[in-house]
């Protein structure tokens, strides 16, 4: 004989109830069944709502009652066809009239006692079980209704009654020995006290009813039908990669259920535990899905010692502490006895080995009550300053990893806490039982989703790491970066096990976010129709999403954006910057960003600041890390200036070459940013700092080749006019180099703690001489490379290579 329990949305509508009838009919062909049903259509909650309306003198309670009546009549007509509904409707209408009289009474006396509450709520299960039993008979199935109030006996503690297990067991056993029906339908949740009064079994009562019956009749299986296909490795609503659990042990199921897995209510497992009766969690909407089997065999077909991850929200952490507790017995006893007397459930306990403090987690709604009674019971010790008044921390949650096999694997807790730490999830308290079946941590409620995703990725998705990008500045370079990510996403996921998602994008006008990842096929349209952009709004949205492995990517030249870096780093959000302003800002700010990066374990990378896609900074860092020392750096660091002087000769005008460079995207909108040498100065400054030297921009000697007229021109157009006016000045520079068989290059140098930039005449044979197009070159003279320098050479400007440099920084973080 099998016991089947149907509840929740599995009995929420006519369609789902027809599925229920079909499932019962199919199984009844092979086994005798006991079918336990909850109230249909969420009636339990609606009955409480209409009762609240009645006692609050809201006359609209009668309208809600009519809606409840209509719902039941619709279900009857949906399940029983061919005009055979009159007898069923007559019985249900009579019961609903009794319900109406009860509600009218509540309206008059303005009070709802626990005893009346039980009587009120019993209508839901009694009506549902009657309708379903009649529907089964209508489908020519051998079914009979049995009232659970005639089987399950409890005490008189209304709304949370305790079952008299011995009497209940005998009643169930006796009844089913005499019963010959193929299907017995029993209402869940409801019972009757020894005083013959209506009682209910509290939360999960229908599951408990089914488990009590299964244990008493030695059922071959207890099936719990819900709206999900079994238990999952974590909450699939918060973690989209959550996996179904095929098999789980009783103990693991209890742990996961206690810590928030709502598919199962913990007391459900207890009655069948000693009988070794398997429990099967199935989906009414997908009956062919395998579901989850709960048995003594904990095998799940995978090698992970962690079976699942769960959480409880709305937790308050209370701390009793004081020097007067050390070495004095009895504090714990008094504390926990006091809470037990107030019926306050303790969810988590942890105590320091010094005995200086006891920390425990309870439901947030009971925190004030708990503080009041604890402070009262210890008022003498508090007055004598032996202990402090109880401390309350609210807005917390508990996350827990569960698995029978965790005890035989080393380092499980280390992996859990390391993963959380890398994502800046602060842990307020930790608890672990000696069985090592459960490791729990208290965190802030706002971090629950990120924590679940982080731990799930660590234990169940080890092969793939999800990285979430927030990009500001999607112009020329930004667009190329998105194209490269779209092109390489599949390759990166397959070869590097990194799943890159673009979650937020912004330009100077609008911004757009998608928690599930922005489609790169139509991101331009999404951004165009996005919300109004603001730097503070972008940061606020990134913080509110609170996603693991988040990276902020700055592809602007904005000082305001650069000023936001510290805010991101403090939130454990990595920063990848194409923008050179932060890296070349005042040394105090640069050093602070580096400090924040280390403190919050949030990488701050800016490879593209110096050589676009060239690995200049990365190479320099490897040299320093390996113990080498930088003596001299010589470099041509401006692809823009190199383009200009490679194309400038006696047959071209300097004005025309500069204009060409601007038109082809090699210079900033104001070419003086490039031609003045300030951009090169910033680059050599960054290299000097990365070499370990404290230096500011004003310490760099800059020899400008532009005329004073060009530098002081009030506009870009006026600047171009000065180039025409002073063409002879630039021609003289070219002729001087030509006569010496030299090439003009704008060179940056760092040596002996000093740096300078300026236009130089490079002789033939020098590594800089044949530098073509927009190429850059960097030469590192170090203790290991004293004569023949390490040389890095390649394209140092252009949207494609700059985007590839940003992509490389993103992958460096992802692979860390």
Residues 310, 259: contact at Cβ < 8 Å?
A: yes
Tokens found for residue 383: 């007055």
Q: Which of 683, 725, 772, 793 is catalytic?
A: 683
Give the list of residues 6+ apart from residue 665 with CB closer than 8 angstroms, or none: 476, 798, 799
| Residue 468: other Cβ atoms inside 10 A | 21
What CA–CA distance (Å, rounded) separates 355 from 327? 7
Q: Distance between CA 15 and CA 548 in Å, rounded? A: 39
Q: Rounded CA gap, 622 and 547, in Å?
A: 30
34 within 8 A of 222, measured Cβ to Cβ: no
How far apart, in whole angstroms, are the C-alpha atoms of residue 746 and residue 759? 4
DSSP 534: -
Distance CA 349, CA 319 (A): 10
Edge-first strand listing for the sheet containing 391-402 = 346-351, 357-363, 308-321, 391-402, 438-444, 427-432
Distance CA 320, CA 379 (A): 12
Evaluate whether 617 touches 808 at the Cβ level (below 8 Å).
no
Task: Return the axis-axis angle of helices 43-55 and 86-109, rounded to nearest 10°.
Answer: 40
Q: Kindly state the DSSP code that residue 244 receives in the 8-state scheme.
A: B
Sheet holding 190-193, edge to edge: 153-154, 190-193, 198-200
Q: Which of 547, 516, 572 is nearest to 451 (CA)?
A: 547
CB 215 within 8 A of CB 175: no
**HSE (CB half, 13 Å, CA atoms) of 276?**
2
Q: Which residues contact 188 (CB under 8 A, 6 or more apart)?
A: 5, 7, 36, 37, 38, 125, 148, 205, 206, 207, 208, 209, 210
Determine whether 407 is an active site residue.
Answer: no
- Whole-angstrom Cα distance, residue 52 to residue 112? 8
First to last CA, the chain: 55
CB 219 within 8 A of CB 277: yes
Q: How far apart are CA 206 and CA 43, in angstroms?
A: 14
Angle 803-809-811 from CA coordinates, rounded to 5°: 105
**Rounded CA separation 670/642 (Å):** 17
CA nearest to 440, candidates 410, 408, 409, 396:
396
Structure tokens at 13: 């509508």
Cα torsion 471, 475, 477, 482 to 10°: value is 50
| Helix, strand, coil share (%) of the chain residues, nearest 5 | 45, 20, 35
Q: How far apart are CA 87 and CA 19, in angstroms?
A: 23
How far is Cα 759 from Cα 744, in angstroms, rounded to an integer? 7
Q: What is the DSSP letter of 405?
A: G
Pair of tokens at residue 504: 């937020």
Residues 6 or more apart in contact with residue 652 via CB below 8 angstroms: none
Structure tokens at 229: 């296909």
Instruction: Pull the structure tokens for residue 753.
Output: 């703690």
> Which residues make beta-bridge pairs with 439?
401, 432
Nearest 5 degrees, angle CA 339-CA 118-CA 265?
60
| CA 720/CA 632 separation, integer angstroms | 36
Active site residues: 683
């Amino acid at each position: 004989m099998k016991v089947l329990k149907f509840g929740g949305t599995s009995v929420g509508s006519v369609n789902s109830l027809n599925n229920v009838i079909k499932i019962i009919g199919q199984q009844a062909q092979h086994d005798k069944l006991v079918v336990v049903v909850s109230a249909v259509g969420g009636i339990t909650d609606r009955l409480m709502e209409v009762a609240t309306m009645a006692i609050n003198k809201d006359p609209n309670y009668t309208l809600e009652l009519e809606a409840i009546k209509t719902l039941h009549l619709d279900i009857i007509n949906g399940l029983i066809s061919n005009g055979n509904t009159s007898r069923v409707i007559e019985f249900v209408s009579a019961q609903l009239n009794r319900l109406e009289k009860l509600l009218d009474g509540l309206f008059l006396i303005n009070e709802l006692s626990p005893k009346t509450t039980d009587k009120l709520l019993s209508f839901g299960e009694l009506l549902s079980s009657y309708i379903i039993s009649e529907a089964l008979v209508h489908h020519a199935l051998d079914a009979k209704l049995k009232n659970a109030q005639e089987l399950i006996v409890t005490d008189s503690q209304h709304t949370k009654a305790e079952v008299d297990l011995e009497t209940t067991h005998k009643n169930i056993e006796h009844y089913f020995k005499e019963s010959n029906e193929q299907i017995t339908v029993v209402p869940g949740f409801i019972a009757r006290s020894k005083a013959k009064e209506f009682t209910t079994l509290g939360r999960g009562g229908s599951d408990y009813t089914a488990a009590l019956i299964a244990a008493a009749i030695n059922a071959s299986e207890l099936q719990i039908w819900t709206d999900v296909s079994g238990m999952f490795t974590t909450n699939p609503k918060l973690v989209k990669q959550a996996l179904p659990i095929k098999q789980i042990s009783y103990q693991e199921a209890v742990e996961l259920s206690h810590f928030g897995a709502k598919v199962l209510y913990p007391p459900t497992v207890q009655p069948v535990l000693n009988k070794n009766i398997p429990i099967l969690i199935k989906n009414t909407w997908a009956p062919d899905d395998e579901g989850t089997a709960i048995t003594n065999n904990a095998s799940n077909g995978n090698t992970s010692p962690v079976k699942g991850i769960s959480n409880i929200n709305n937790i308050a952490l209370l701390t009793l502490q004081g020097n007067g507790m050390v070495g004095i017995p009895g504090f714990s006893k008094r504390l926990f006895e006091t809470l037990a007397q107030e019926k306050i459930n303790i969810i988590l306990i942890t105590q320091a080995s010094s005995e200086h403090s006891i920390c425990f987690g309870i439901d947030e709604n009971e925190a004030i009550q708990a503080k009041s009674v604890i402070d009262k019971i210890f008022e003498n010790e508090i007055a004598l300053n032996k202990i402090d008044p109880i401390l309350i921390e609210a807005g917390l949650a508990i996350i827990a990893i569960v698995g029978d096999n965790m005890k035989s694997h080393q380092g499980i807790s280390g992996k859990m806490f390391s993963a959380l730490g890398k994502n800046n999830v602060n842990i307020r308290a930790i608890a672990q039982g000696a069985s090592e079946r459960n490791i729990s941590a208290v965190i802030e409620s706002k971090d629950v989703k990120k924590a679940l995703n982080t731990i799930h990725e660590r234990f169940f998705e080890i092969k793939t790491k999800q990285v979430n990008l927030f990009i500001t500045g999607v112009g020329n370079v930004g667009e190329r970066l998105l194209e490269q990510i779209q092109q390489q996403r599949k390759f990166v996921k397959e070869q590097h096990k990194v799943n890159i998602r673009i979650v937020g994008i912004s330009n100077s006008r609008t911004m757009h976010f998608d928690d599930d990842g922005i489609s790169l096929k139509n991101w331009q349209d999404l951004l165009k129709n996005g919300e109004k952009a603001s730097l503070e709004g972008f940061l606020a949205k990134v913080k509110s999403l609170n996603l693991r492995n988040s990276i902020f990517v700055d592809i602007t030249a904005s000082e305001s954006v650069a000023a936001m870096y510290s805010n991101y780093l403090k939130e454990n959000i990595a920063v990848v910057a194409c923008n050179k302003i932060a890296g070349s800002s005042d040394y105090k700010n640069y050093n602070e960003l580096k400090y924040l990066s280390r403190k919050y374990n949030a990488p701050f990378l800016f490879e593209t600041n110096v050589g676009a896609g060239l690995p200049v900074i990365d190479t320099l860092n490897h040299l320093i890390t390996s113990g080498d020392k930088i003596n001299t750096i010589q470099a041509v660091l401006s692809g823009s200036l190199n383009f200009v002087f490679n194309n400038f000769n006696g047959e071209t005008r300097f004005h025309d070459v500069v204009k060409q460079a601007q038109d082809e995207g090699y210079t900033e909108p104001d070419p003086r940013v490039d031609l003045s040498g300030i951009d090169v100065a910033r680059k050599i400054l960054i290299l000097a700092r990365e070499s370990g030297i404290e230096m500011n921009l004003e310490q760099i000697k800059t020899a400008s080749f532009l005329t004073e007229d060009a530098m002081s021109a009030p506009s870009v157009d006026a600047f171009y006019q000065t180039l025409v006016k002073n063409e002879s000045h630039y021609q003289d520079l070219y002729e001087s180099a030509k006569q010496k068989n030299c090439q003009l290059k704008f060179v940056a140098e760092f040596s002996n703690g000093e740096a300078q930039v300026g236009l130089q005449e490079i002789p033939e044979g020098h590594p800089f001489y044949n530098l073509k197009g927009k190429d850059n070159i960097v030469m590192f003279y170090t203790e290991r490379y004293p004569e023949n320098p390490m040389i890095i050479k390649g394209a140092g400007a252009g949207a494609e290579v700059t985007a590839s440099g940003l992509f490389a920084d993103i992958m460096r973080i992802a692979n860390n």
